[in-house]
Structure 1
Amino acid sequence: MDWAQIYAAVFIMALGLSLILTPACQKIAQIFGFLDIPKCEGHKLHAKSTPLLGGVAMYSAWILTILAALAAVTFILPEKAMQDIIAGVAGIKLVLREFAVIILCALAALVMGTYDDKHAMKAHHKLYGQIAIAVATATFGGVHITLFMDLPFLSWFLTVFWIIFIFNATNFFDNMDGLAVGTASIAFLFFTTAAIVNEQYFVACLGACCAGSAIGFWFFNHSPASIFMGDGGSHFLGYMLAVISAKVTYFNPLVSESRLSILIPLFILAVPIFDTLAVVVIRLLNHKPIYVGDHNHISHRFLHMGMSRKRAVLLVHLLCLIAGLGAMPLLWGDERSCLILIAQGVTILLMLTLIQYSGTIQNKQQAQLQEISPDEK
């Protein structure tokens, strides 16, 4: 059994389990009252109560696939095949210990988010939980962002910050049916590809497993969604995006000619990162709390341009594909090619900035018109 077959098997199993478990979690959510009820909240676009627990479905598919893979390696595969797999993963015992930490932290992220779905945690309490999970991962989970610097504390700090930021970026981006899970699925596939190119077998399997569980859930979450992922799902996906993006080694001197390849995760996640920074700036300029939802996301801008929700989400996903596809050649390109691709990425971000700015001006003009009384018009 070669690694390509293993990747495919992991992906298909996670996909199948997600397709089976999502409807089950939908029914459980209805029975126990895990429902997203709009309550006239301005930033919510759905009109009826919708089951949550999509995160439970994705995590369950993910962990069951992992356990099945470990069982297959231990008890089912021939001894030679098992030895070949172990030989392909350097320091297998350390890897498994670190992976146990990642599994527990992913579970903690899911539990915290699911609790928030039911009981509405205060924003600072949720932030404390995110910090604790990020610190545990950076300290014990073998997740490090080094940027070619031999500065352990700076690496640790960058890793903690990255995990917390992607936690919240994914949560912010979950503002329309199928948007966040579709974007995460695209990102997981790109990260898996990067890991395969650099022969990071374990990380590639982990990425394939995440992609399968996310895509399986997408079939039930795209518009009109029959189930939401909730904060539990956005925290699980955000955590795994942060972990896998940090675990992949983007610069391989045997493959890549430029160290600019370390920018690949910023390209793959460019759209949600940009969207998060943009809405935070807009909320600060409007003197509003950054954790209070609104309609200033890029997906909402496309709605204001006359698109349907499905088309707005599709356009965002196409932008994610463009950014990710532009990042892949950085894995093996030379310095000049990488600079051209980076310029392309910056151009896309400038285009998004123009859309965001135009939408902000339009919203202000509409608000000013609404403040004018009929006698003044």
Structure 2
Amino acid sequence: MDAQSLSWILVVSFAIVVLLGPIAIPLLQRLKFGQAIRAEGPARHQQKSGTPTMGGMMILLSVVFTALRFSSSPTTDLLIFAMVGFGIIGLLDDGIKVLRHRNLGLTARQKLVLQVLVVVLFYLFLYFRGWHFELYIPGFNTALQLGPFYLIFLAFFMIGTANAVNITDGLDGLAAGTTAIAFAAFAAMAWWESQWNISVFAMATVGALLGFLVYNRHPAKVFMGDTGSLALGGGLAAVAVLTRSEIWLALIGGIFVIEALSVIIQVISFQSFGRRVFKMSPLHHHFELIGWSEWRVVTTFWLVGLALSIAALYFYVR
């Protein structure tokens, strides 16, 4: 598969979301599927209250259609399962928020149980395909044989990635842009290794996200909601697993790692010492509160994510 074919896949996926926008966004508005903004967030975010959410469904529809159209295979099916599985959990969470008109959906325990269920099913699919449960270590040309412990690793890895992307989804275009960059890096890595099915799926996701940015860039006309952010995180983790690039995700998805760590650090610091390290977590809110405009925060995070992905690709192909 050449670069021109991947470009065509990106264009098709992009066009589907762009064409869905004028249909889906007014429909979400009529159904009153508006975002409830948490009171603890920056005050200027309150003006976003009521913006249609659950726009992640447009991304999912585009990715599923494009991936199956251009690369129907067991690998593609497994990637779609991971993305849609986590997306359904997000859809339930968003649905409860909308129906109850508040920023609280599924409980943390309910989310965790459902996410573990998706991971276990993903693991079983790998098991029955004869997957070697090992963790490749870049730079050392070796792999750790995890055996039955791989399920534990997989649970932490996939659930951690999904929720890190979810945490990052706090500003217009932030999660969409950073995940598009990460998926593009994995599309290149999969293409380099001739893993065509994975490359098609990743590039279809990039196209869908670029299409979504047409409506999600500041000021956003629609939010992806947990439907989109959890789906993207689950899909991203699945791509890393199937390309045996789990450790590379720490660099390619460095923005997600930093965002998640900022929340962990904030919680530990406040509970242990009664002091906050950041003005607000996740980190993107900290920069807002020190005076950065929302667009400046988003573009800066995009550039950092791009730099990390380029660095990862440079070291990967060496």
Please give the TM-score of this superposition, normalised by the length of structure 1.
Answer: 0.72
Alpha-carbon distance, 1:207 to partner: 0.8
Q: What is the identity, as a one-letter code, of the residue corresponding to 2:190?
A: A
Alpha-carbon distance, 1:159 to partner: 1.9
Q: Distance in 1 between matches of 2:19 and 2:42?
A: 31
Alpha-carbon distance, 1:157 to partner: 2.3
- Which of 297, 300, 303 does residue 312 from structure 1 map onto? 297
Change (3 A) 1:172 1:189: same
2:202 corresponds to 1:225: no
2:248 corresponds to 1:248: no
For residue 351 of structure 1, what is the aligned residue in structure 2? none
Change (3 A) 1:118 1:243: same
Q: Distance in 1 between matches of 2:189 and 2:76?
A: 19
Q: What is the identity, as a one-letter code, of the residue corresponding to 1:172?
A: I
- Equivalent residues in 2 for 1:1-377 (5 A)? 2-38=1-37, 40-42=39-41, 45-47=45-47, 48-69=49-70, 96-119=73-96, 120-141=105-126, 146-147=135-136, 148-249=143-244, 263-287=247-271, 295-333=280-318
Change (3 A) 1:301 1:41: closer
5+ residue gaps, structure 2? 97-104, 137-142, 273-278
Q: What is the identity, as a one-letter code, of the residue corresponding to 1:200?
A: Q
Q: Could you give the per-residue CA deviations for residues 105-127 of structure 1, whole angstroms, max 9, x where no partner exists?
A: 42232222112112111111011
Contact 2:34 2:51 (C-alpha < 8 Å) held by counterparts: yes
Q: Distance in 1 between matches of 2:239 and 2:78?
A: 14
| 2:135 partner SS | coil
Q: Distance in 1 between matches of 2:310 and 2:219?
A: 28
Alpha-carbon distance, 1:68 to partner: 2.5
Alpha-carbon distance, 1:278 to partner: 2.1
Q: Could you give the per-residue CA deviations for residues 269-302 of structure 1, whole angstroms, max 9, x where no partner exists?
A: 11211220221221233239xxxxx932222232
Alpha-carbon distance, 1:131 to partner: 0.9
Contact 2:14 2:208 (C-alpha < 8 Å) held by counterparts: yes
Q: Distance in 1 between matches of 2:36 and 2:253?
A: 30
Tell me which stretches of 4 or more aligned residues in structure 1 moved more than 3 Å: 39-44, 141-145
Q: What is the identity, as a one-letter code, of the residue corresponding to 1:116?
A: D
5+ residue gaps, structure 1? 74-95, 251-261, 289-293, 334-377
Q: Could you give the per-residue CA deviations for residues 200-224 of structure 1, whole angstroms, max 9, x where no partner exists?
A: 1111111101111111101211111
Q: Distance in 2 between matches of 1:162 and 1:307?
A: 32
Alpha-carbon distance, 1:41 to partner: 4.6
Q: Distance in 1 between matches of 2:183 and 2:78?
A: 20
Q: Distance in 1 between matches of 2:107 and 2:247?
A: 34
Q: Distance in 1 between matches of 2:85 and 2:192?
A: 31
Q: What is the identity, as a one-letter code, of the residue corresponding to 1:102?
A: L
Contact 2:75 2:197 (C-alpha < 8 Å) held by counterparts: no
Name whichever of 295-304 and 272-281 sits farther off: 295-304
**Rg: which structure is higher?**
1
Q: Could you give the per-residue CA deviations for residues 250-275 of structure 1, whole angstroms, max 9, x where no partner exists?
A: 5xxxxxxxxxxx74221101121122
Q: What is the identity, as a one-letter code, of the residue corresponding to 1:99?
A: T
For residue 90 of structure 1, what is the aligned residue in structure 2? none
Matched pairs, number: 292
Alpha-carbon distance, 1:248 to partner: 1.9
For residue 82 of structure 1, what is the aligned residue in structure 2? none
Percent identity (aligned): 24
Please give the TM-score of this superposition, normalised by the length of structure 2.
Answer: 0.84
